[in-house]
A and B are shown apart, each in its own frame.
Chain A
Amino acid sequence: MTEKTLVLTDVVKRYPNGALAVDRVNVDVNAGELVVFVGPSGCGKSTLLRMVAGLETVTDGSIELAGRVVNDLEPAERDIAMVFQNYALYPHMSVRKNLSYGLKNRGLPADEINRRVEEAAEILEIGAFLDRKPSQLSGGQRQRVAMGRAIVRHPAIFLFDEPLSNLDARLRNRMRVEIRKLQRRLNTAMIYVTHDQVEAMTLADRIVVLNGGRVEQIGSPAEVYGDPASTFVASFIGAPPMNLIEVGIEAGRAMRDGVALPLPPSHDGALPAKAIWGLRPERARVGDDGNGIPFTIDVVEELGASRLLHGRIGGAEFTLQQDASAPPPSQATTLLIDPRDVHLFDAETGKAL
């Protein structure tokens, strides 16, 4: 059994006005693991992170960090380090002071503080700006300083709260890779909160998908993408999202407006009369000889490497992603679908069948 850095047990956050922000969440973070909390805004992911940090009180449940329950500890006593969305650098202090302030408050000796600051500066390549103020730094440099402030603490766990959302797209991609490398190098557990499913997929060892304060699914990026537990996960993870079509099940076939759609092979047996049929956009092919499911194309989007075909199967909207090297199909065509790629969800609860 791997060692657990953080164990959240039935964690609940209810605000004084009665709003339930986090509803009985159970999550473990293993030593050295990078776990991403992902979900739309208002899903409770940041609240959950802030509860781990000690910035929000815990209504119910327990938060166990490195073997001790920290529910009632001050943030400074918790052995965590946090990187904020807007960095929250201390504007009136030099970079060096920003890094050393927390260590000084902990009463570390000066030479140890210096050693840690130099070490962090070397890892993050910010040695040249140690004597500058944050206002004299670029966005990417500020980001590094914010991470440096976290590194020098040598915490049990890093908490990153949407740290890249203030950067432009190019820098964001670069910093994402750097964060991943850094986490690997330090081999310290990390929780990373984001609403960006691309960040979640690329960074995470495991993804926790949150919706309305509840955990929808926990799994590796491949599991969450390939085997979504609900329609919410299916539509939230992956861009463009999974095609979801309401179908009726008749005699072992999924019917939509008179069009028969294939069912996954494991589900020939007991199925409800209604279901939601799902397929990733890249999992269908254009049929070359008129066989397959009729598909009417409305709009074509060229993305360079690939092409999106927006159209309809029966009355239902459907998007197909195909390689740009494939010949562009005519307006009305047919689709070939492997039944093994098809997902089925309950029409009422949205849970996978």
Chain B
Amino acid sequence: MKRDRLRDHIVLILGAILMMGPIIVAFTTSTFDPVEIHREGMKLGWGGNFLETYKEVLFQKGGFSGEVTGALMTMNSLILGIGFAVGKIVVSMLAAYAIVYFRFPLGSFFFWVIFSTLLLPLEVRILPSYEVVQQLGLLNTYTGLILPLIASATGTFYFRQFFRSVPDELLEAARIDGAGPLRFFIDFLVPLSRTMIAAIFIIMFVVGWNQYLWPILITTDEHYFTLVRGIKQVLQTYIGANIPDYNEALAMAILAMLPPGLVVIVFQRMFIKGLVESEK
């Protein structure tokens, strides 16, 4: 028993080192001077440039217009991540509510239409999507960044499965207690699916945060750049004899990983609860 536990821990620690290793090396390297990194490669240990590098990444105005800071990009990433996740949750909950609780003609047909869009990821429909957003004049807006992405077949499917597991008697008891369709949704389905919402929020936040292709297409104005895209921007200065700011790129990568990591850590209990148990 005790030996088993020891063995389990060794396996877990090794796994953790394997998974965390690159991140730790990226972090330690980011505290070194760029010249030193260029000369000696990735480094373990403490370079002593931590404060300077991170301050510069966050607050130094840069970019073409000279107005873009890391903090602004973080803000943009947050707006995209949260808007993406919240939007997907709201839309898929409403869609699932309609599909499960209302009889309308071709209801299940529409569900399968929604479901089949799983076969059409963003990359497949990227040209028409761009065209639509462009014609609506939504290029270089947060709306254009978020709105075309928030329809979610996966989310709709999860919420549909969950709503179907809610016992009919609950709806009937609520009807007797005078709850109309809107009340039932707000007073019952939303609180009952809160662990579900948390789980989907985490997944969708990370997906939204890590969006790369779509923001590149939709935003050409630097004020809308996200962190993930900013990393590339830093390395693009590798022109001629310039040494790219490796330290800043790595610092930005670390910064870009922090919020999704925090979200997962904060919500992990609800996340696991939402995935494994279905509270009736």
Measuring CB to CB, which residues of chain A are less than 8 angstroms from any residue of chain B?
53-55, 74-76, 80-82, 84-86, 88-92, 101-102, 105-106, 135, 149
Contact = CB atoms under 8 A, between A and B. Distances in A.
B178 interface: yes
Interface in B141-199: 167, 169-170, 172-179, 183, 187-188, 191-192
A327 B43 CA distance: 98
B279 interface: yes
B176 A92 contact: no
A102 B280 contact: no
Nearest to B190: A92
A102 B178 contact: yes
A89 B172 CA distance: 11
A84 B171 CA distance: 12
A134 B88 CA distance: 31
B176 A80 contact: yes
Majority SS of interface residues in chain B? Answer: helix
A101 B175 contact: no
Contacts of B176: 53-55, 75-76, 80-82, 102
Given A90-B188, A92-B191, A84 B169 contact: yes
B192 A92 contact: yes
Contact of A84 (B172, B179, B191, B192): B172
B274 to A, nearest CB: 14
Nearest to A86: B169
A91 B173 CA distance: 12
A85 B168 CA distance: 12
Given A55-B172, A82-B173, A105-B183, A91 B178 contact: no
Contacts of B175: 54-55, 74-76
The 5 closest A-B pairs by CB, nearest first: A102-B177, A76-B178, A88-B169, A105-B178, A88-B173
Contacts of B279: 91, 135
A5 B179 CA distance: 25
Contacts of B178: 76, 102, 105-106
A190 B64 CA distance: 79
A250 B176 CA distance: 59
Given A76-B176, A92-B188, 10 more contacts: A53-B176, A54-B176, A75-B172, A88-B170, A101-B179, A102-B176, A102-B178, A105-B178, A105-B179, A149-B177
Nearest to B176: A75
29 contacts: A53-B172, A54-B175, A54-B176, A55-B175, A74-B175, A75-B175, A76-B176, A81-B176, A82-B172, A84-B172, A85-B169, A86-B169, A88-B167, A88-B172, A90-B170, A90-B174, A91-B192, A91-B279, A92-B188, A101-B177, A101-B179, A102-B176, A102-B178, A105-B177, A105-B178, A106-B178, A135-B279, A149-B173, A149-B177
Contacts of B183: 105
Nearest to A106: B178
Contacts of B280: 91
A101 B170 CA distance: 13
B168 to A, nearest CB: 9
Interface in B253-280: 279-280
